[in-house]
Each structure stands twice: as structure tokens, then as C-alpha cells.
Amino acid sequence: MSSHGKLRKEKGSLAEYENQIKEVRSQLSEQLKVLDAQLEQKTQQLQDLSDYLRRRGEIEAEYARSLEKLSERFTLKTKKKEQSDQSVAQSWTVLLTQTKQESRDHSSLSELCSTTLTQRLTHCIEDTHRLAKKSKEVGLQMQDELLKVTTELQTVSALKTYHQYHTECLAAEGKLKEATRLEERQTGKSSDLGLGQSAGQRRSSVKKIERLMEKRQGKVQETQLKCTKARNDYLLNLAAANAAMNKYYLEDICTLIDCTDLGYHLSVSRVMRGYLSNRNRAQQNLKNGLQQLDASVNGLDQSQDRDALLQAHNTAFCLPFRFQHQAHEGDQVCEVSADCQVRYEMETRFQQLQSRLASVTLETEEVSKTLKATHTALLDNICDDDCNPTPDISATLSLESTGDCPGTKQSLAKRRANQQETEIYYFTKVKEYMIGSSLISKLQAKHDLLKEAIQKGNNQIFFSYQEPICLHHEGIFRVPGSQSEVNHIRDAFERGEDPLTDSECDIDSVAGVLKLYFRGLEKPLFPEEFFNQLMECVQIENMTERAAQIKTVVSSFPRPIIIVMRYLFAFLHHVSQYSDENMMQPYNLAVCFGPSLLRGAESGDAVTLQPQINALVKTLILQHESIFPGPSELPGPVYEKLALFDYVARSAAELSFKQGDHVTLHSKASADWWRGEVGGVKGLIPHKYISISEG
């Protein structure tokens, strides 16, 4: 019964083994199908990519031809016309050049896609089929070897021999066990019969049992040896079959797939990289072209184009010669005269001109402000159009194409109407401004001639609203004046009087008062403790670096001293601008003022330090704007006045105030007007309505 059970168990294991072999055969067959499908997919991908590149090449070629025609069309027009250096023409030229380059780039991409890349893909398809065929042959051979190993494991004598010898071994062991039981029974009977049998009979019976045991043990040992050898052979074959399975599934399949894909990815990569390289080069050219175009657009300059137009047509736009005085029958007088007979008339006319000039100037300034605001609004309206892209431009375009955005056309029409209205208002203001400014220029010319005639000989010091005649005086500050007159003018100033109002004074004497003031200061204008630092600054050769270092030192001075220096050196620089007439260049002024402004240690050698002092003062005169802080950084003195009468403003630029109000003055706008503020509001204040505050 047990032998039949063992036989069924063996048959079941063999059937299971056969099912496993069938699954392996099915799996190997499926592998070939997958590889064939993969080959077909790769072929289709390569074919699609080739078709795409071929069609892309046709599109790029057509686009390149269109761009070339577009560029050539306008390039020929530009060549026929006169070349212009204006910024708009330059931007137009850059745009055409960039279009030509873009056409060449698209043509290059077309040629690459149509020939080189498609040819590479054709070779790749051929290589893929050839390698797949060879890989399939090797794969079939490896599958045959694998199936051969597994089939041999099932059919060869190793497995059957192992089963046979194992069966015989089990049978021999069973017989040995049966003989052992027989021996035990025989031994038990002998002990029970003991005395009833003869010694000969017992020995004969024992010998038979021993021979049977020896025979059975020998048989067991023999069958065990055969079974062990058969089992070893079977296990070795089984290990070899499993190793073959592992080798095939874990290594050979990957190797076969790699052989099938040999060069496939590299070929596709070369094609893609060739395409990318061309596109990147085109993109770089496009980027460079757009950067050049952006630079030319940023360089659009209306003033520059205007100047270029005037320069190109200089004959048509150049200023004609001045109208010369046509003397009548030998009359030698060619300037406005304010002799005693007509002085009063000239003064009255001059005052009327001043009032008229101030009024027209204020009106023109208001028109100018309105003109600037209108100009800004007009430019904003021009910029606010549909040319600028918006984040949702695609949605807007889709709505417009379907007719679902009726408000767009209405808003555009409204903007155009507003722009035209603004243009009309703008040109109205332009006309008013040009007429007003033209009138100002005519009034100013008459005003200057009358002022020169009336105030001839009456000179001013320092700053004023009109250009002082003293600036034209030769040798000012170098030629000494009368010592007695200098002392007289100084004493009058110290008493609070103005000695220059009603009497005529010598210009050199008036200039000498200024030098005497600084020379007479107990402490020089430049603090002595900074003298050595200032002398070190002079050693710097580069003028810009020297000015920057001097500014660092001067910024440490007290604020009142800096304000005085700012006014003084701005005035000296103004004097040096008339050096062609007054013969006082910055160096000459430095020689005149240096010893009075800077004083070193008493033990210092004045002769040795004088060149450095002169160089420092010269630098301060030339670079005063970069060395001293402006009024916005360091405000100057503010003057407080009292209103003598009530005044009602006649325009938005003027200020209204009551009698007795405190008025703060900042600067003089003209002979009759001041710039200042009342109650924190800034504007223009009439000169005749204010007086110096008492206390």
C-alpha cells in the first residue's frame, strides 16, 4: 500500500515539473513576442520622427523664404532713399538685419531637418532591424540551450536512476528491518525453548539468522551507495539547470535587449542634439538680435533726431546773420542812450518793461506748466494702446475673434477721441507758450539794453538777478582800489548803511572791501586745525579724486562756514567765466584770495606753502559744485519780512496775504518778485508789498 502511495507522489511531482517546464516554454515564447513588438514600436518612432523632421524642414524653408522676401523688400526701399543717421532709421535698419539673420537661421534648420537628420534616422532604422534580427537569432539559440538543459533534467537517466535506486534502497532497508524483527523473535523463542533444543540446533538457527542479516545489511549498503551516487548526479544536474535559468533570466535577457538596442539611443540622441544645437544657435542669434534691437529702441531720442535733421539741412535751418545797425548819414551812435534829457523817460519805460516782463513771465510759466502736464498726458495716452501685450492676451484675442468683446472697439474709439482732444489742447498751449516766450525774448532784449544804459557805471558786488557790469572790469580783485574809499565803504557797511545806492564807487575799491573783510577776520575762513589735511589733498594729482578728498574734509566744517564758502566760491567761479574780459582766471583769483582765506602755523614757511594754497583755492573755484553741498542738502539763509499791505493773488503762482503777516523769502525771481512762502504755502511775493521785520 505504501509503495503505491509513493508511486502516486512521484508521478505528482513529475507532473508538477512538466507544468513548470510548459510555463517556461510559454514565457520564452512571450519574450520573443515582446521583443518583436518593441522592434515595431522603435521602428514606428523613428519613422514618425523622420516624417516630423522632413515636414518641419519644409515649414522652416517656407518661413525662411517669406522672411527673406520681407527683408529684401524693405531693404531695397531703404537703399533707394537717402541714408539717415536718425535713431528711428537706425532702429529700422537693426530690425531688417535681425530679420535677415532669422531667415538664415530658419534656412539652416530647414536644411538640417530635411537632409542630415532624416538620413541619420534612416540609417538608425536599418541598424535597428539588423541588430534586432541578430539578437533574435542569439536569443532563440539561448532559449534552445535552456530548454535542452531542463528537458535533459526531466528525461535523462539521472532522475530515473535516482528514483530507482532510492526505491531499491527503501526496499532493502525494509527487508533489513524485517530480518531484524525475525532475529528478535528467533532469539525470544530460543530462550523460551532453551532447554528443549540441542546445542547444535541453536547454533544452526543462529548462523542462519546471522547470514540473513549479513546479506540484508550488505544489500542495504549497496543500494544506499548507488542511491547516494544517483542523488548526487541528480542534484548536480538540478543545480546546473537552475543556474542556467538564473543566468538566462537575470543576465542573458538584459544582454539580448542591450544588443537589440545597441546604438539606438545614441543615434536618437545625436539626432536630437543636432536639432537642439541648431535651435540653440538660432535662439542665441535671435537673442543677440533682439538685444541689439532693444538697445536701438532704448536709443530712440527725439532731441537727437531733431538735431540730426537740423544738421543735415543746415542751410535751411541755420540762424541768419544779425541785423546790423544802419546808421543814417554818418551818425556814430549805435547804442541806447540815457542822457539827462531822456533819463527820466528811460527809467519810466524801464520800470514799465520790468512790470510787463514779470507779468508775461508769470503767465508764460503757468502756460509752460500746463504744457508740460498736457505733454505728459498725451504721451501716456499714446502709450496706452493695444500694442503692449497683456497677461491674458490670448483670451482677449479669442473673444475679439468670436465677436464677444464689443467694449474693446468702443474703448479704443474713446481713447482715440480723447487723444485728439488732448492734441488740440496741447497745440493751443504750444502756440500760447511760443507767443509768450517770443514776447519775453523781445521784452528781455529791450530790458537789457535799457538797464545797461540806465545803470551804466552803477556796479554791484556778488550776486544779483541780472549780470553785473563789474564782472567785465579788467583786473577785478587784482588791482587795488583807493584805501580811503575802501575804508569809507567798509565803515558804511558796518553801520548798516548801503554806500552803493546813491553814489558811484570805484569797482576796484568795492572789490577791495571784500578782500579786506576776509583778511581782517581774527580766525581765517578755513579753520586752522584742518590746514594740514587740506595741504595733503593738494598732493593728489587726479582732479576728481582731489575734489572728492577736499569735500570729505570740508564736510567736517561748521555749517555756517560751509554756506559762506559755497556762496563765495560760486561767485569767484562766476567771475572767472568772464576771464576773457576781466583777465581773472581761477589761478589769478586764487592768488588774490588764498592768503586771506587760509593761514597755516605761524612757524610755517609762507613762501613754500603759497603754491599749495593757490592750488587748493583754484581747485575750490573750479570744482565748487562737486565739493560743496547744494541748497537741497544744506539750505542757505532764509529772510523774514513783514507785509506792508494786503495783497490778493492774481494767479495760481502768486500768494495772498494780509498786512502785518510774516513772509519768508527764499530767492529773488525778478526785480519786482520774490520766491517765498506764507503760512507754509510756497509761491511768488511782490517786492513792493513787504518790508524788513523789526526785531
Instruction: Pick the closest to residue 231 from 158, 176, 293 (CA basis).
Output: 158
Eight-state DSSP code of residue 657: B
Task: Supply 51's cell numbers.
Answer: 516624417
**Angstrom distance (rounded) from CA 647 to CA 639:** 19
Q: Residue 107 is which amino acid?
A: S
CA distance 172 to 200: 31
User: What pLDDT sits at residue 458?
Assistant: 36
φ/ψ (deg, to 5) at 92? -65, -40
Residue 29 has pLDDT above 70, yes or no: yes
Q: What is the pLDDT of residue 51?
A: 94
Mean pLDDT of 274-283: 90
- Strands of 690-692's sheet, edge to edge? 681-686, 673-678, 662-668, 639-643, 690-692
Mean pLDDT: which of 314-328, 413-427, 639-653 is highest?
Answer: 413-427
Q: How many CB atoms lie within 10 A of CB 227?
A: 21
**What is the topology classification, in CATH, of domain 337-388+407-456?**
Helix Hairpins (1.10.287)
Among 314-328, 452-466, 554-568, the range scoring the smallest mean pLDDT is 452-466
| Torsions phi, psi for 638 (to 5 deg) | -115, 135
pLDDT above 80 (res 493): no
CA 286/CA 100 separation, integer angstroms: 11
DSSP string of 13-72?
A: HHHHHHHHHHHHHHHHHHHHHHHHHHHHHHHHHHHHHHHHHHHHHHHHHHHHHHHHHHHH
The three-point CA angle 561-562-568 to 5° equals 90
- Residues contacting residue 451 through CB under 8 Å, at least 6 positions apart: 350, 466
pLDDT at 95 over 80: yes
pLDDT (tens digit per residue) in 235-266? 887 888 888 888 888 888 888 888 888 888 89
Of 150-154, 507-511, 571-575, 618-622, give the lowest mean pLDDT range: 150-154
d(CA 525, CA 558): 11
CA–CA distance, 354 with 348 (Å, rounded to integer) = 10
Are β-strands 662-668 and 690-692 bridged in parallel, bridged antiparallel, or unpaired?
unpaired
Q: What is the Cα–Cα distance from 69 to 75, expressed in whole angstroms?
A: 10
Confidence of residue 59 (pLDDT cuts 50, 70, 90): very high
Q: What is the pLDDT of residue 280?
A: 92
- 587 touches 614 (CB < 8 A): yes
What is residue 258's three-state secondary structure?
Answer: helix
**Exposure of 105 in the CB half-sphere (CA atoms within 13 A):** 21
Q: Is 582 exposed, middle or buried (0-12, 13-18, 19+ CB in 10 A)?
A: buried
Cell numbers placing 416: 482715440
> 417: which 3 cell numbers?
477721441
Q: Look up the pTM and report it.
A: 0.49
CB atoms near residue 347 (< 10 Å): 14
pLDDT for 10: 55
The residues pairing with 663 across neighbouring beta strands, listed in sequence order, are 641
Please check whether residue 418 is in contact with residue 381, taking contact to mean a CB–CB distance below 8 angstroms.
Answer: yes
- Cell numbers standing for residue 431: 502756440
pLDDT at 120: 92
Whether residue 404 is predicted with pLDDT greater than 60 in this model: the reply is: no
To the nearest 10 degrees (0 to 180), the angle between helices 264-298 and 118-155 is 150
pLDDT the model gives residue 689: 81
Closest CA relative to residue 57, chosen from 278, 362, 249, 311: 278
Nearest to 610 by CA among 535, 685, 509: 535
pLDDT band at 192 (very low <50, low <70, confident <90, very high): low
Mean pLDDT of 569-593: 87
Work out the mean pLDDT of the chain and round it to a whole number: 79
Mean pLDDT of 558-574: 87
What is the pLDDT averaged over residues 73-87? 73
Cβ(520)–Cβ(546) below 8 Å: no
Helix (H, G, I), strand (E, B) or coil at 619: helix
Q: Residue 207: its pLDDT value, please? A: 78
Instruction: Find out whether 364 and 436 touch, Cβ atoms under 8 Å.
Output: yes
Tell me if 476 sits within 8 A of 443, measured CB to CB: no
Domain boundaries in the chain? 36-155+284-318, 156-262, 337-388+407-456, 469-627, 639-692
Q: Would 337-388+407-456 and 639-692 be classified into the same CATH topology?
A: no
Residue 201 has pLDDT above 80, yes or no: no
Best-predicted range by mean pLDDT among 21-35, 158-172, 656-670?
A: 21-35
- Helix, strand, coil % over all residues of the chain, rounded to 5: 75, 5, 20
- pLDDT reading at 529 higher than 50: yes
Instruction: Return the bridge partners of 685, or none.
Output: 674
| C-alpha dihedral, 657 to 663 to 668 to 674, nearest 10° | 0
Percent of the chain with pLDDT over 90: 12
| Nearest CA-CA partner of 88 in 299, 294, 384, 311 | 299
User: How large is the average pLDDT for residues 222-232?
Assistant: 81
- Given this model, what pLDDT does residue 509 score? 83
Kindly report which listed range (258-267, 378-387, 439-448, 562-571) carries the lowest average pLDDT score: 378-387
Q: Where are the alpha helices (DSSP H) in 384-504?
A: 393-402, 406-454, 483-494
Q: What is the mean pLDDT of residues 59-69?
A: 92
pLDDT for res 502? 53
- Between 324 and 656, the higher pLDDT residue: 656
Could you tell me the fold of the domain covering 469-627?
Answer: Phosphatidylinositol 3-kinase; Chain A (1.10.555)
Task: Measure the CA–CA gap between 633 and 299, rounded to whole angstroms.
Answer: 33
Please determine, for residue 465, whether its predicted confidence score (pLDDT) is greater than 50: no
Find out whether 147 and 32 touch, Cβ atoms under 8 Å.
no
Alpha-carbon distance of 119 to 108, in angstroms, equals 16
Question: Rounded distance, CA 681 to CA 675, Å?
Answer: 11
CB of 653 closer than 8 Å to CB of 683: yes
Q: Where are the alpha helices (DSSP H) in 248-332?
A: 253-260, 264-298, 302-312, 314-317
Distance between CA atoms of residues 564 and 523, nearest Å: 14
Of 90-104, 187-201, 289-303, 481-495, which gets the smallest average pLDDT? 187-201
CATH superfamily to which 639-692 belongs = SH3 Domains (2.30.30.40)
Closest to 617 (Cα-Cα) out of 681, 573, 578: 573
User: What's the confidence (pLDDT) of residue 406?
Assistant: 61
Could you tell me if 105 and 234 are in contact, meaning their C-beta atoms sit under 8 angstroms apart? Answer: no
Q: 222 or 52, which is more confident?
A: 52
CA 323 to chain centre: 55
β-pairing verdict for 690-692 and 639-643: antiparallel
> What is the distance between the alpha carbons of residues 155 and 688, in angstroms, rounded to a whole number?
135
With beta carbons less than 8 A apart as the criterion, state whether 682 and 676 touch: yes
Q: In a 3-state reduction of DSSP, which class is residue 654? A: strand
N residues, the chain: 695
Which amino acid does the sequence have at 610?
A: Q
What are the b/e assignments for 548-560, b being 16+ CB within 10 Å? ebbeebbeebeee
Kindly indicate the confidence band of residue 119, based on its pLDDT and cuts at 50, 70 and 90.
very high
Q: Alpha helix (H) ranges present in 81-117?
A: 87-111
State residue 9's pLDDT score.
Answer: 52
With contact defined as beta carbons under 8 Å apart, do 613 and 598 qualify?
yes
pLDDT score recorded for residue 219:
80
Bridge-partner residues for 185, per DSSP?
Answer: none
Helix (H) / strand (E) element for 175: namely helix 157-193
Per-residue pLDDT band for 460 (boundaries 50, 70, 90) equals very low
Round to whole Å and give the CA distance between 309 and 435: 24
Poorest-pLDDT segment among 202-216, 253-267, 334-348, 640-654: 334-348
What's residue 301's pLDDT? 84
